[in-house]
Amino acid sequence: MYGLEAISANNGWAMAITGPLIVMSGLTILALIISQLHKIVAIFDKKPDSATQSAVEDKISVPKILPDNILETADIYQALIDKLEQPFELKALYRIAEQNDFPHPILTVGRFRVAGILVPEGEGLFVWKR
């Protein structure tokens, strides 16, 4: 038996409709549950994500091209540093810089490190010496 006849004889159409529906429904429900997971966890933790929250609310204005002078650039970055508790991880600084649309944060942070403005404290943590 071949062709459409074979599919019908083997119950193929029913399987091909039911199967994807089951998979899609199952994974949709899973996606819905995990989309709420962080809220459920937050209720139990009772700790709002304040660093991200305040960064989004108080967006800092920044020029499209940062000055060549590293000290002037550091003055612009001061507003970001004030939002972080020292010592901090560089990924927190990158995140807050990207949220405020700072250009090329990784290159700029590299310049701060070379200039001794951003100094490592060990265990991946840094302090702002300005």
Partner 1 sequence: MSIDAHILKPLDFFADFNQQELEECAAALKPRTVKAGEIIIKRGTPALTFFIILSGTYEVDFEKDRSIVLEKKGEVMGWSTVVHPFHYIGTVKASVEGEVLEISSRDFFELIQGDNALGEKIMKKIDAIASERRTIAAGSQ
Partner 2 sequence: MELFLQFISNTGFFLAEYRNFVMIGIGSLFVYLAIAKEYEPLLLLPIGFGVLIGNIPFFKGFGLGIYEQNSVLHYLYFGVTTGVYPSIVFLGLGAMTDFSSLLARPKLMLLGAAAQTGIWATLLSAMALGFTSKEAASIAIIGGADGPTSIFLTAKLAPHLIGPIAIAAYSYMALIPIIQPPIMRLLTSREERLIRMPEPRPVSKKEVMIFPVVGLFLCCFLAPASIPLLGPFFFGNIMKESGVVDRLANTARTAVIDTATIFLGLTVGASTQGDVFLNAKSVGIFLLGAVAFSIATASGVIFAKIMNLFMKEKINPLLGAAGVSAVPGSAREVHLVGLKEDPTNFLLMHAMACNSSGVIGSAVCAGILWSFMM
Burial of 115 (0-12, 13-18, 19+ CB in 10 A): middle
The site partner of 38 among partner 1, partner 2, none (C-beta below 5 to 8 Å per kind) is partner 2
Describe the strand order of the beta sheet including 118-122 as a list of residue ranges.
88-89, 125-128, 118-122
> Can you give the binding site for partner 1, defined by CB under 8 A?
89-91, 94, 104, 106-107, 110, 113, 120, 123-124, 126
Q: Shortest approach of partner 2 to residue 73 CB, angstroms?
A: 21
Q: Are 118 and 128 in contact (CB under 8 A)?
A: yes
**121, containing H or E segment:** strand 118-122
Site map (CB under 8 A) of partner 2, residues 10-49, x = contact: xxxx-xx--xx-xxx-xxxxxxxxxx-xx--x---x---x
Residue numbers at the binding site for partner 2 (CB under 8 A): 1-4, 6-7, 10-13, 15-16, 19-20, 22-24, 26-35, 37-38, 41, 45, 49, 52, 95, 98-99
